[in-house]
């Protein structure tokens, strides 16, 4: 039987938060990368570590798209959905494409689980799944059978059933088991009995696919074509951590990182804590304020200093960011955004901290703000943020989000030797030194660090004389300093490269986005432009100062559509900045845009129709009269 | 060969050209002078000395020290100082704070800096009042303190700074009065030699909002203070009274008869934490207050341990190679034909 060729497949695994769905998804993504596909992943899990088994709110999912051509997103809707229990089926089925493949672990469809998922009648029996290709497999029982005679407890045996699902999907897409067996053995090197069980169960799943007549077709997604070079699979937070270490090295410095545990930023600290042999010092502080305080202290001492958090933690750091602005010390603050306000949606993604990043401090306290667009881009943004911070002597906010942080993609490894260095120089000459004397081009003050003889001076949060740095309450001096602090941020534009514009510099619709929506917007624009539609996409890497390239083109389009995962924050800024109308495509569901939502909106605009709503039920598109 | 002339550091060298802006009669003047004199005596390197402060009257201190200085934000000085000390262990980092800054808004940072045994010299000016904000009661104000915010008297119980510092794990704990230059100078010299978290409580007078709050202790040093001396019994009132321990470790004030101090408690800076906690509880009005170094203990500092981990990791893994790091994890090559190899 010849496998059927497919260009791309979107697959979703969902089950209890204890079912190991994140691992299953991650492992399948590795296998897809290994087979040369382009991939994009989207883990979607609850905030609870182990929510009650079988509950609707405890469902954990992992979606990935793998493809033989370039892809930008984890896919709009799964073609294949593996449901490990009734709750997973209930919460995810609506996303599965019509006629999609549905693999159900019938072993979990018992009375109590059906009840927890609020099914009155088992969906396996009421005909409600008729429009899908259903494969009912008792994974629970088949797993148990595969491990018969094993010394593992029943509980331990049960925990291997995700590998049955993995094996089955491996077979469906003709993936080799060898690589996975190697990874399992490495992961469970200290517990070979678990490695053995997982492998046995995975093989059982694979062979089940091969033998059971229900799976009549094997599919083949050929390798994608990539630019030649070295690649690795990387998540956003991993790339960000690497970027910080590399950026510090390019600055000729060691990295100091201070953080306080918070989802979804914590894994940056976990990564960096392993890089001690690079001279990296990590500090788990007692709270968010202490983390940024320590980072500022380190910056004062001459270190390349970074702190990271998510929205609530950034709120706590606000006063200290202001101190960094006032004392003009270099610092990078990373915000891995999540849904807000307050605790909000800790494990879901959102772009609602843009205002917070740009304006969220007392007094006029401007800082540069850069946002990463994808997992791999986090690396470059981290390097760039460090460069700007040290060059302009200013705290820089780097925005990521939960979708980027946890998502992964194949990433062409950068050639480190080709990356320009930005070695930091600390002034040591006391002759003619004034604390707030500035570089004429960047307006940066000299970074003079303790330990430098003859350069002893005092800095602090009280307004300072524009030259000497002594305390000054003089009215004109404060106004002058306020202007200088703003002008310094404006001058960062000198270091901003070409704006990332896809499509012509004039036309019917200009879609503007920033951050993690890049993939969905770019894919939608590419598709429409390929149909001859006059649609362009501007991706803003820098939000403060605004990309200089935007002013040159924003007035060249009949319609400007600002697409964001918030109620229209960038749109508000652009309307104020350019005094032109902008329409908004806004989604506030803790979920990324689907490509279709974006292209539907653009097509509606092209047709002169009102903007359609994106995903039900609450997404709004807003247009100002 | 030219002879280098070693210039001796004087108190004057540690003064800045800035006008000191504390109120006339403020206890801070005396503390500033003693700190400057002591650092001059110690011949410290000005460039390696950093004063970090938070917000409050006392926190203006760095502006008047001709060293490096960082006037930070309310309560956060220990955090900022920690980051500086971790990355620059060779610096002498002093933290100047007050009872509001260090024990109220910054209580969390205080506790954790001490717990980590960060090598910081933390000096807390305790005047039992918020001065800069014009006279509200503070976390060390006595119950019933009438202040701007408590016209009917405060209803919360004060905390004991020395007990807090000991409980948090400070490895050098001392107390002095602002105007007692001799004792304070001696403590500062010892603190300077100590490696680890230093906590010095200074009984400081605010002449504007809480004048005389420590008068009971300061006006009658003989009667209301125990001058701690290593290896010497706890005596006061010119040696006529002393402290012994009764059942249940209850401290008792006893008369010293014929110079016989055999039943009195003998002080040791290196004594047990139990003893140090007991000393901390000797407070007015029931007891004379112990002045001097109450407790001292040597243990590794945070920055020592953190840097040791860097050394150990480098020994074990070799100096980090960024290219190698980039190539860790799942890495593959795409060939000239655009497919994976």
- What is the total residue count of chain A? 625
- Domain A500-622: state its class: alpha beta
In the predicted model, residues of chain A with pLDDT beneath 50 are: 616-620, 623-625
User: Quick check: B336 and A228 CB within 8 A?
Assistant: yes
Within 8 A of B338 by CB-CB distance, chain A residues are 225-228
Which residue ranges make up each domain of chain B? 11-219
Residues near A475 by Cβ (< 8 Å), separated by ≥ 6? none
**Token duo for residue B178:** 């602002």
pTM, 2 dp:
0.93
**Which parts of A467-549 are beta strand (E)?**
500-502, 507-514, 535-540, 542-544
Q: Which CATH architecture describes the domain A234-418? A: 3-Layer(aba) Sandwich (3.40)
What CATH number was assigned to the domain covering residues A4-220?
Answer: 3.40.920.10
Cβ distance B100 to B69 under 8 Å?
Answer: no
Compare all CA atoms of chain A with the CA of B73 and give the residue at the minimum distance.
A461
Q: Tens digits of per-residue pLDDT, A378-425?
A: 999 999 999 999 999 999 999 999 999 999 999 999 999 999 999 999
Token pair recorded at residue A281: 């010092």
Q: Does residue B6 carry a pLDDT above 70?
A: no
CA-wise closest residue to B83 among B102, B101, B70: B70
Q: What distance, in Å, lies between the first and last C-alpha atoms of chain A? A: 60
Residue of A33, A295, A462 lying closest to B83 (CB–CB)? A295
Residue (of A569, A571, A562, A572) closest to A593 by Cα position: A562
- Rounded to the nearest integer, the mean pLDDT of chain A is 94
The CATH code of the domain at B11-219 is: 3.40.50.970
A-chain residues near B108 (CB < 8 A): 286-287, 290
∠ CA B265-B267-B270, nearest 5°, is 130
| Burial of residue A201 (number of CB atoms within 10 Å: 0-12, 13-18, 19+) | buried
State the best of A33, A278, A458, A469 to mutate against chain B, taking most chain B CBs within 10 Å.
A458
% pLDDT > 90, chain A: 91
Give residue for tokens 């042999």: A277
Cα angle for residues B125, B129, B133 (degrees, 5° grid)? 105
Residue-wise pLDDT for B113-123, tens only, equals: 999 999 999 99
d(CA A140, CA A161): 6
Does residue B82 belong to the interface with chain A, where contact is any CB pair within 8 Å?
Answer: yes
CA within 13 Å, CB half, A64: 29
pLDDT of residue A624: 41
Q: Give the nearest partner residue to B69 out of A234, A289, A458, using CB atoms.
A: A458
Contacts of B88 in chain A (CB under 8 A): 301-302, 449-451
Domain ranges of chain A: 4-220, 234-418, 500-622
Residue numbers in B near A301 (CB within 8 A) = 83-84, 87-88, 91
Which tokens is A252 given? 């000729």
pLDDT, tens digit, for every residue of B135-167? 999 999 999 999 999 999 999 999 999 999 999
* Predicted local confidence at residue A619, as pLDDT: 44
Pick A36's closest partner by Cβ from B65, B71, B340: B340
pLDDT of residue A615: 54
Cross-chain CB nearest to B108 (options A286, A322, A451): A286
Both tokens assigned to B189: 């010299």
The residue to which tokens 């879609």 are assigned: A511
Instruction: Determine if residue B284 is left, alpha or beta; phi over 0 gives left, psi from -120 to 50 gives alpha, anything else beta.
Output: beta
pLDDT at A618: 42
pLDDT, residue B340, reads: 77
B 271-310: CB under 8 A from A: 306-307, 309-310
Over residues B170-185, mean pLDDT: 97
For B188-213, what is each residue's pLDDT tens digit? Answer: 999 999 999 999 999 999 999 999 99
CA distance A335 to A543: 14
> What mean pLDDT do residues B47-55 have?
98
CA distances from A482 to A317, A440, A580 (A): 21, 17, 28
Q: Percent helix, strand and coil across chain A, each rounded to 5?
A: 40, 20, 40
Phi, psi dihedrals of residue A123, rounded to the nearest 5°: -65, -15
Let me know: does B226 contact B235? Beta carbons within 8 Å.
Answer: yes
Instruction: Give the A:B interface size as CB pairs under 8 Å.
Output: 223
B319 to A277: CB separation less than 8 angstroms, yes or no: yes
Rounded to a whole number, what is the distance in Å from the CA of B3 to chain A's nearest CA?
20
For residue A243, give both structure tokens. 């970027």
Q: How far is B301 from chain A (nearest CA, A)?
A: 14
Token digits for B84? 């500086």
Are residues A450 and B309, on separate chains, in Cβ contact within 8 Å?
no
Q: What angle is formed at CA A261 by the lines to CA A344 and CA B307, rounded to 5 degrees?
A: 160
Q: Which residues on chain B are in Cβ contact (under 8 Å) with A28?
A: none
Confidence band, pLDDT 50/70/90 cuts, at residue B88: very high
Query: Chain A within 8 Å of B5 (Cβ-Cβ)?
Result: no
Radius of gyration of chain B (CA): 24
User: Can you list the alpha helix ranges (DSSP code H) found in A129-177?
Assistant: 139-146, 154-158, 161-172
What tens digit of pLDDT does each residue of A548-575 get?
A: 999 999 999 999 999 999 999 999 999 9
Confidence of residue B339 (pLDDT cuts 50, 70, 90): confident
* Interface mutation target, options A187, A297, A447, chain B, most CBs of B under 10 Å: A297
Nearest chain B Cα distance for residue A237, angstroms = 14
Mean pLDDT, chain B, rounded, equals 95
**B310–A277: do the CB atoms touch at under 8 Å?**
yes
Of B91, B319, B322, the CB nearest to A451: B91
| Closest CA relative to residue B296, chosen from B186, B185, B173, B192 | B173
Q: What residues contact B269, with CB distance under 8 A and at least 6 apart?
A: B228, B230, B293, B294, B295, B296
Angle at A8 between CA A7 and CA A11, to 5 degrees: 155
Residue whose structure tokens are 């998502």: A407
Could you tell me if the ipTM is greater than 0.85?
yes
- Identical fold for domains A4-220 and A234-418, yes or no, is no
What pLDDT does residue A1 have?
Answer: 58
**CA A17/CA A469 separation, integer angstroms:** 55
């Amino acid at each position: 039987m010849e496998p059927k060729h497919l260009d791309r497949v979107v697959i979703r695994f969902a089950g209890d938060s204890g079912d190991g769905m994140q691992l299953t998804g991650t492992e399948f993504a590795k296998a897809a990368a290994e087979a040369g596909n382009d991939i994009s992943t989207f883990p979607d899990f609850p905030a609870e570590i182990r929510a009650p088994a079988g509950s609707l709110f405890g469902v954990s999912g992992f979606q990935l798209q793998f493809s033989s051509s370039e892809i930008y997103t984890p896919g709009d809707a799964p073609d294949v959905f593996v449901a490990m229990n009734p709750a997973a089926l209930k919460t995810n089925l609506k996303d599965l494409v019509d006629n999609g493949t549905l693999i159900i672990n019938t072993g979990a469809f018992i009375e109590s689980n059906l009840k927890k998922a609020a099914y009155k009648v088992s969906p396996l029996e009421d005909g409600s799944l008729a429009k899908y290709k259903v494969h009912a497999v008792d994974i629970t029982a088949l797993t148990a059978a595969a491990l018969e005679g094993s010394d593992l407890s029943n509980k331990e045996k049960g925990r291997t059933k995700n590998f049955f699902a993995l094996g089955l999907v491996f077979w469906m897409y003709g993936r080799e088991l060898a690589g996975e067996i190697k990874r399992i053995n490495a992961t469970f090197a200290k517990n070979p009995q678990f490695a053995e069980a997982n492998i046995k169960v995975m093989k059982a799943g694979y062979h089940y696919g091969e033998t059971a007549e229900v799976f009549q077709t094997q599919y083949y997604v050929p390798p994608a074509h990539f630019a030649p070079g070295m690649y690795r699979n990387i998540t956003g937070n991993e790339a960000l951590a690497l970027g910080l270490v590399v950026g510090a090295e390019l600055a000729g410095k060691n990295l100091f990182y201070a953080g306080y545990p918070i989802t979804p930023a914590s894994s940056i600290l976990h990564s960096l804590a392993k890089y001690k042999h690079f001279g990296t010092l990590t500090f788990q502080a007692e709270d968010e304020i202490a983390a940024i305080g320590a980072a500022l202290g380190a910056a004062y001492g001459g270190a390349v200093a970074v702190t990271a958090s998510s929205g609530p933690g950034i709120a706590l750091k606000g006063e200290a960011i202001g101190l960094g602005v006032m004392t003009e010390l270099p610092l990078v603050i990373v915000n891995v955004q999540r849904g807000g306000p307050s605790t909000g949606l800790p494990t879901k993604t959102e772009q609602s901290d843009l205002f917070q990043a740009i304006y969220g401090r007392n007094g006029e306290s401007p800082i540069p703000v850069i946002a990463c667009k994808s997992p791999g881009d986090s690396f470059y943004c981290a390097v760039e943020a460090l460069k700007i911070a040290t060059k302009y002597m200013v705290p820089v906010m780097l925005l990521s989000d939960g979708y980027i942080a946890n998502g992964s993609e194949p990433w062409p490894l950068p050639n480190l030797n080709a990356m320009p260095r930005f070695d930091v120089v600390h002034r040591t000459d006391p002759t003619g030194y004034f604390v707030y004397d500035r570089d004429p081009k960047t307006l940066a003050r000299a970074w003079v660090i303790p330990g430098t003889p003859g350069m002893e001076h005092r800095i602090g949060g009280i307004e300072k004389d524009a030259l000497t740095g002594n305390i000054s309450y003089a009215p004109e001096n404060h106004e002058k300093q306020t202007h200088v602090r703003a002008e310094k941020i404006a001058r960062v534009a000198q270091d901003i490269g070409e704006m990332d514009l896809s499509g012509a510099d004039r036309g019917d619709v200009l879609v503007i986005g920033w951050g993690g929506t890049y993939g969905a917007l770019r894919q939608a624009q590419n598709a429409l432009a390929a149909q001859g539609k006059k649609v362009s996409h501007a991706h803003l890497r820098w939000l403060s100062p605004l990309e200089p390239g935007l002013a040159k083109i924003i007035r060249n389009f009949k319609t400007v559509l600002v697409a964001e995962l918030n109620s229209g924050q960038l749109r508000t800024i652009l309307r104020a900045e350019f005094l032109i109308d902008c329409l908004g495509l806004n989604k506030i569901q803790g979920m990324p845009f689907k490509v279709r939502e974006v292209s539907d909106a653009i097509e509606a605009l092209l047709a002169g129709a009102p903007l359609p709503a994106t995903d039900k039920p609450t997404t709004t598109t807003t247009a100002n009269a | 060969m030219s002879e280098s002339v070693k210039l001796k550091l004087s108190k004057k060298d540690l003064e800045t050209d800035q006008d000191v802006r504390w109120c006339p009669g403020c206890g801070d003047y005396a503390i500033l002078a003693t700190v400057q004199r002591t650092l001059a005596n110690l011949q410290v390197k000005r460039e390696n000395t950093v004063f970090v402060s938070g917000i409050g009257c006392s926190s203006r201190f760095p502006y008047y020290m001709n060293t490096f200085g960082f006037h930070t934000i309310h309560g956060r000085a220990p955090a900022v100082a920690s980051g500086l000390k971790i990355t620059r262990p060779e610096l002498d980092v002093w933290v100047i704070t007050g009872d509001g800054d260090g024990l109220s808004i910054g209580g969390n940072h205080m506790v954790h800096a001490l717990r980590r045994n960060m090598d910081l010299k933390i000096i807390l000016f305790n005047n039992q009042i918020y001065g800069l904000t014009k006279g509200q009661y503070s976390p060390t104000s006595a119950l019933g303190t009438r202040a701007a915010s408590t016209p009917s008297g405060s209803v919360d119980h004060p905390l004991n700074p020395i007990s807090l510092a000991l409980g948090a794990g400070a490895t050098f704990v001392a107390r002095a009065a602002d105007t007692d230059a001799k004792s304070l100078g001696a403590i500062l010299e010892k603190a300077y030699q100590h490696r680890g978290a230093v906590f010095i409580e200074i009984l400081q007078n605010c002449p504007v909002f809480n004048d005389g709050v420590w008068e009971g202790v300061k006006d009658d040093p003989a009667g209301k203070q125990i001058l701690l001396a290593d290896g010497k019994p706890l005596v006061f009132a010119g040696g006529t009274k002393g402290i012994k321990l009764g059942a249940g470790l209850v401290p008792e004030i006893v008369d010293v008869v014929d110079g016989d101090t055999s039943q009195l408690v003998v002080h040791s800076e290196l004594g047990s934490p139990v003893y140090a906690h007991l000393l901390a509880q000797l407070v007015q009005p029931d007891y004379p207050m112990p002045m001097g170094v109450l407790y001292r203990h040597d243990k590794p500092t945070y920055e020592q341990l953190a840097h040791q981990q860097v050394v150990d990791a480098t020994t074990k893994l070799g100096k980090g190679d960024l290219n190698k790091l980039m190539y860790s994890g799942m890495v593959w090559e795409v060939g000239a034909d655009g497919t994976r190899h």
